[in-house]
Structures are given as C-alpha cells and as structure tokens.
Structure 1
C-alpha cells in the first residue's frame, strides 16, 4: 500500500491504486462516514472521475467497494471536481473523485468529500488507519444506482448564470486550451453564456498533465502563440480535474494563481482571505481583508477559513498559489447566488479576472500590474525522491551553519520560515522557498525578487545548488 495522502487526497502510481488500495480506502471512507454518523447504510454517494486512462478502472473498483460497505454509488462521469462536490453537497451526500489532478498519467488518486465538503486531516488519519485492514483482491463490478452525469454538469454551469453583468463580456475573445481537462466543457458553456466568444484550442485524446502552479515552457509557448495568432483578449484552461485555473493575458503572459486569488478577494470584497505560505508575500498589502497564512494543501486552507468564520468574518475566501479558489460563505454577485463551495474551483477566479478588468476598463495585463505584487516565480525539480527532499529541507531547517553554506552563492539568509518546507529571506530582500511536493516525487522551488528575470534566475541557481548537495538525487 505505497499510495498515500498528499496535500489533496490519496495519490500514487496507477499500479499502487488498482491493486486494491484505492478500493480499500473507499471502503475505509464509507465505514468512517457510517461510524461517525455522516452517512447511513443505504445512503447515496456520488462518484466522478477525470480523463486519465486509469480512472474508469479505479472508479469501477471504488464503486464496488462502496457497495460492499452498504452505500449506493451514483455515477457522475467525467466532470470538474468542484462540480461533483457542488452536486453532492447540494444533496447532503458524500462523494469520491477519481483524479490525480495535475500529476502525470502514470499516477492517479482519489479525493474524498463528506456531505459538508472536503475531508480534513482528522478524516485522512481515520481513513488511513482503517484501510490496511480492508485490502483485498480487486472487487467485482458493482451496480450503479443511476447516472447523474448530465445533471451534475448542468448544475455547475447554472451556478454561474448571471454572475457576469449582461453585456460586460460583449466582444471578448477568449481562447480555451482544452487539452484533457475535465473542466473544458463547463468552461466553454459558462464563458459562452456570459457573453464571451470562446475559441476552443488543443483538445487531446491522451492525458496531458497541466500544472497551473509550475506551467511548463511548452504550455507557455503554446498559449502565447495562440494569443498572438488569434488576437485573443486572453486564454484560459484548467488542470486535469478542473479545480486549478490557468489564465493567460492578452500579451501571452501566464497570470500567477495567487494574483488571481487576490483579484477574487478584491472583486468579492472579502473581509478574510486564507492562503498558504507559498502565495505571494504582497497579498496582505494588496487588499483590506484579514490575511491568514497556512501550510500548503486545501485541508489547511479550509481549516483557516473555519477559524475566520468563528471570528465573525462574513465574506471569507481561500486560495492557493495554483489559483484554485474556495468560498466559505454564500456569494451574491449580479443575479447569481452562489452557495458556499469549500473546495478549489477554477471557474470563479477566471470569471473574476475578466470581470474585474472589464469593469475597470482595462486589459488583463494592466489590471494585474495595478496589483503591484512583488515578482514571484515557481518551478520544480521533477523525479526528485520525496525522502531526499524531506531530508534536505530538514537539514537546512535545523542546522543554521549548513543553511548559511547552502545559500552562500545566493545570498545570506536573514530569516527562515518553517511553516511548510523552508522559506528563506536573503539579505537582498529576495525570497527562496524549498518544499517537497506532497503529491509526487518533486521538489518545489518558489522565489520572489525585484524582477522576473531575477526571480527565475534565483530558481535556476537554487535548483543547481540542490542538485550539487543532494547525494541521492539521480538526476
């Protein structure tokens, strides 16, 4: 049972899930729901998936496991994770989403939703504790209660009807990089209903792992070329399960996810924003809302949102550096009345970005420039063993002398934040953050500097330094 919980759900290689491990965790989740009184035997549970080659088989095994524990799975097909969560929560039911999000196709995962939203770390511990005792051969197929695929997708599209004032998006040309995202159909429908001209681009029959937090050079080039060739006002996309947005401005530049989160906070007049330590350090100065910083992962953001509500805040949003936005309260904008959705959503930040820029009479690039955020960048060292990354970060965090030696070619560390990984402020004022990924064998590197060139250079030099001192790194 090598698959394990990361920053958002169970993750592992396909073979580590199809060997009965995903089914065991589904059984454990069902048993946990029943034992805690969140579901009764015979209750419905909603099941969705992304477009990975392995997702139908994992969904089949999980459906059979749920039936074995006395629950009745309802098929929701391929749809965005937030659409599944919305559909299930609206019916007071739990849900399972089969997805590996943005990681490569040789991996996959399962996201778990209680009737009131995402599971938390306590739920994860309970499920992880029960699952080993439930491992067995792959279960036999199970009967599906019914197919709610069309209704779940239609409900998500209807959620945003009226959010954009009539005529605001008139004449707006938006490219949609479809690739293999489960959100492509929903985005096309929502943006089209809002009045934009949507140009579909790049659909793929094979899974493409688009990471909206560390956008690849190939994806940047594709997007930039499309924007220029088609005279687009912007381009949008989402990751595999549609809970993380990608927005490209009219110049072909990718807008960082934390900038999108800040735009949402301002557009919705939030009085509290909750975001991980990896988000831009300028968030606090960029809005009037109280800012709460957390570790990386939606469970931590949701916990912070709950704390904000307990303190009396009434317009609470959360967002991550990948751009996914969560809402803790109902949101009323235009004629739309959005129920609270405490899970990452790619649609809300996309709509807010274009709506805020249009309302201000600005292009996307000009609107983002007005945020005056420090220049930030992020990237990753792929195929970097998780244990190696954890050991390196632990050593640098606990040994000041070693930390000084490691960063000497880059600058002198004057502050170290250990909230999640190691975030160091150098004597130049630049920031470098090292964090082993919780989802895949990768080491994430974040930076802030006076210019994009310097921020990217700082990442490249840090990555080179990591590879010098990490003896177990095969690269």
Structure 2
C-alpha cells in the first residue's frame, strides 16, 4: 500500500511512493479536478515550486511533465517559499503545486495544491482523490515548461512595503539558515527592513525543523548563539517557510500561537481564527473582539476566516505560528494585501516590529501578553493502528482514562473536537492528537507556569509512550 495521503495541509508520504509516476498522476488528478469543477483558469497556467529537500527537484520535474502532458502551460518557479508561490499564483489567477514535505524528514515529501483563488478545500481533496482513483489520460501537450523568476522579490516587497524600511532599524538578528527554502529570503528581508541580519549554520543537507517539536540540537545551537548577548532575536522557518521559528534575546523559543497573537495586534486585527491547539489564553486578549476555534489544518482556518469576513479585520494562525491574512490591511497609509495561506515571514517581522516600536526586548513584549504557559512535542513513528485506539480510550473518559491520568489528578472535562483534550482538576490540560502529516502522536499541554508545563509535557509523552509500547 502507498503511504501517500492527505493530511492537515496537502498530500504527504514516503519519497519512494511519490517520485516518478505517482507525482505525475496526482498532478494530473488535481488538474482534472479543476477542469471538472469549473475552477480552471482561462490561461490554463499551473506554477510548480519546490523546497530544498533532496527529492524535490525530481518530483517537481514529474509535476511539470504531467501538467504539460495534460494540456496546461507549466511554469517552473524553482525553489521558493510556499507563501511566495501562493502569492504569485493568486496574483496571476493560476493553479499551483508546491513540492514540499514541510517539516517532516527527508525520506518523505509531499504536494500542496492551490486553486487560482488560493488553497484547496477539503471538498477539493475528495475530488482530487476521486480523479486519481479514476485514472487520467494525457491530453494535448501544453508545450515545454517555462521558467518564472522574481517571485521571491515580489514576496519580500509585500512585507517591506507595509512595514517600511526602518521598521526593524538597529535590531541584531541571527538567521538560522539550515535548509529552509527561505534562508536567503529572510536575510534579505530583514536587511531591507533596517535590521542587521547575520546568517548562521547554513546546511548542505535537509534538516527537518518542526516549529512545534524542536530538536534538542537546534535548541542547543540557539542558546549558544545568544549566550554573548549580541542578538536581539534568532529567527528561522521550517522547510517550506510557512511556519516560523523565533527565539528571544535569551535563546528561548516564542510559541507559535503567541507569534500569531502579536502579529494580529501589530496588524490591528480584532478577530482571530485559530485551531483548538492554540493557547486558551487567546480569549483573554483585550484587543480581540472574537476568537474562532477550528480543527487543525489551514483549510479549516481558512473556512473559519471566510465565515468571519465582514465583521472586522481577520487574521488566522495555527499553533505552529503560520499566519494567514483574511483581508487587505491598511495602516499608516500602507497596505498589506490578503494572503490566505500560512506564512512565516510575516509573524517574524511583525513580532520584531512590535518589540522595536515598544522599545522593549522580545522577551518583555511576549511577557506583556500574560499568556500563561503551554508546551508541545510529539512521539514519532506512531502509526494510526496504535494512536486510534489510544485516543478512543481517552475520548470515552471511562475507567481506563481515569487510570491513565490518576497520578496527575481528576478529569474535569474531555473535549474531542480534534483529538482528545483533557482538562484536569487543577486547570491544566493535556491534548493528544494524531498528526495529519506523518505517523506521529502530538501532545499539547497547558499549566500554571513554564516549569509546570514542561514537566506535564514530559509526563504526557512518557505516559503515552508506555501505554503504546513505543
């Protein structure tokens, strides 16, 4: 059986199951679905981009070949951030395919599909899957792929044009470049905004940076870089630059949901749309009139944003920090165009701009949110045949669940909106859910203090590991 499946954002699986024929067939199925649904652009253009993992060039070539064979005009955008690809596709009214596995290991990869008006929906996923299962035949050839250039410059221009060339003046920022497709984009953008960026640890192999489950070696690097006090922040992204990583001047990672909250404040948003995995403290933010909760995944956040449209300025974000802008934003005579796909550059810049404008360190700005303590991590290599019965046991809230949490306290509430979120008598929460992108079990916790959250997370992972025999 193939490992390929749709997760929280796109099709993912093992490289061996995607490269070659499968990548071409899934691309053809996507384009056939657009045709069948009446969503194809008049120009019949499809743009293909890629991240920097080792398999991406070949898979991108497979996708371009399939698009041409299916009668579309294939445009090769090369290596670039996912939000930069989406921005250009929406501007041109073109379809798009991004070859990326985001934060998952190099032996895996994936495809993210974009309609001419933005990300595909869950209904589109069903249509694409049906077209794939039906099989596709090549149509009239659309010609050789054509190369597109300048997309990253346009992407940077959007941010610099809104925040201005002095927004980060005087800030010293370390850019952990690793293998992020945005490693040069980040450095250029920060420099154009007035900061002094310093590239750090550029890698020649793919490094799976996950902004919700940080590798110990990455944490050690960041702490080391900030030890001498020369940086105001350290920044980076995941593989395709739709999830941000930002550490304060002390080397402490700022949670993704707090980056999203600071971005919303900087943009003057009064409505936030975010999954249930983001901190419950968001509802206490005084500058927000409404917080809309969704399931995990950008399609659900986008659906929630569209439902809230017209009620105010809407910003969406996930617990991983990726921010979506639901409508054009006007501030100080400058305009930020809407972009309903996760973006890492915007929350990085917005958070640093908040610190600069306040004349405070990043840590002080974050502390000023009074957002409580939360933490998250994962258990890798936990297949669905193990995670599903485990989650079912917790969802039932019966004797087995009470025994599982016995050493932590009494169960007060069980929420099964997306995964299983258990609230204990002391107010702390433990939320388990199976990842939609890889065979792993995610664990999110909230507690009264950072040490308590760290301790609860360690317990949550170990207790699940024992129960699952992992």
TM-score, normalised relative to structure 1: 0.95
Query: By how many angstroms is 1:334 displaced?
Result: 4.5
Query: By how many angstroms is 1:229 displaced?
Result: 3.6
Q: Specify the alignment match of 1:68 in structure 2.
A: 69
Q: How does 1:191-230 map to 2 (within 5 A)?
A: 191-229=190-228
Q: Specify the alignment match of 2:401 in structure 1.
A: 403
Q: Specify the alignment match of 1:101 in structure 2.
A: 102
**Structure 1 outlier segments of 4+, above 6 Å:** none
Query: By how many angstroms is 1:418 displaced?
Result: 0.7
Q: Specify the alignment match of 1:249 in structure 2.
A: 248
The one of 305, 325, 328 equivalent to 1:327 is 325
Distance 1:399 1:135 in 2: 46
Distance 2:4 2:136 in 1: 12
Q: Is the 8 A contact 2:41 2:95 kept in 1?
A: no
Structure 2 residue 17 is matched with structure 1 residue 16: yes
Query: By how many angstroms is 1:467 displaced?
Result: 2.1
RMSD, aligned CA: 1.9
Distance 1:175 1:416 in 2: 42
Q: Specify the alignment match of 2:179 in structure 1.
A: 180
- Helix, strand or coil at the partner of 1:161: helix
Query: By how many angstroms is 1:166 displaced?
Result: 4.6
- Helix, strand or coil at the partner of 1:160: helix
Structure 1 residues 41, 290: closer, same or farther in 2, change over 3 A?
Answer: closer
Distance 2:465 2:288 in 1: 41
Q: How does 1:164-179 map to 2 (within 5 A)?
A: 164-179=163-178
Distance 1:207 1:414 in 2: 43
Distance 2:168 2:90 in 1: 30
Q: Specify the alignment match of 2:375 in structure 1.
A: 377
| Unmatched runs of 5 consecutive residues or more in structure 1 | none
Q: Specify the alignment match of 1:350 in structure 2.
A: 348
Q: Specify the alignment match of 2:337 in structure 1.
A: 339
Query: By how many angstroms is 1:411 displaced?
Result: 1.5
Query: By how many angstroms is 1:398 displaced?
Result: 2.4
- Helix, strand or coil at the partner of 1:240: coil
Distance 1:468 1:40 in 2: 52
Query: By how many angstroms is 1:262 displaced?
Result: 0.6
Deviations 1:323-375 (A, max 9, x none): 00001101224454222100000011011101111111110000000000110
- Helix, strand or coil at the partner of 1:394: helix
Distance 1:439 1:341 in 2: 23
Q: Specify the alignment match of 1:270 in structure 2.
A: 269
Q: Is the 8 A contact 2:75 2:147 kept in 1?
A: yes
Q: Specify the alignment match of 1:307 in structure 2.
A: 307
Structure 1 residues 283, 68: closer, same or farther in 2, change over 3 A?
Answer: same
Deviations 1:137-186 (A, max 9, x none): 9xxx99543211x3211110111123334534222100000111011121
Between 400-409 and 413-422, the greater mean CA deviation after superposition: 400-409
Between 30-39 and 327-336, the greater mean CA deviation after superposition: 327-336
Structure 2 residue 116 is matched with structure 1 residue 118: no
Structure 2 residue 294 is matched with structure 1 residue 294: yes
- Helix, strand or coil at the partner of 1:282: helix
Q: Is the 8 A contact 1:162 1:194 kept in 2?
A: no
Deviations 1:361-413 (A, max 9, x none): 11000000000011000011111113211221022212522211111122111
Query: By how many angstroms is 1:25 displaced?
Result: 1.4
Between 222-231 and 171-180, the greater mean CA deviation after superposition: 222-231
Structure 1 residues 405, 153: closer, same or farther in 2, change over 3 A?
Answer: same
Q: Is the 8 A contact 2:272 2:288 kept in 1?
A: no
Structure 1 residues 135, 402: closer, same or farther in 2, change over 3 A?
Answer: farther
Q: Specify the alignment match of 1:133 in structure 2.
A: 134
Distance 2:116 2:445 in 1: 38
Q: Is the 8 A contact 1:64 1:142 kept in 2?
A: no
Distance 1:268 1:426 in 2: 35
Distance 2:151 2:166 in 1: 27
Distance 2:229 2:21 in 1: 47
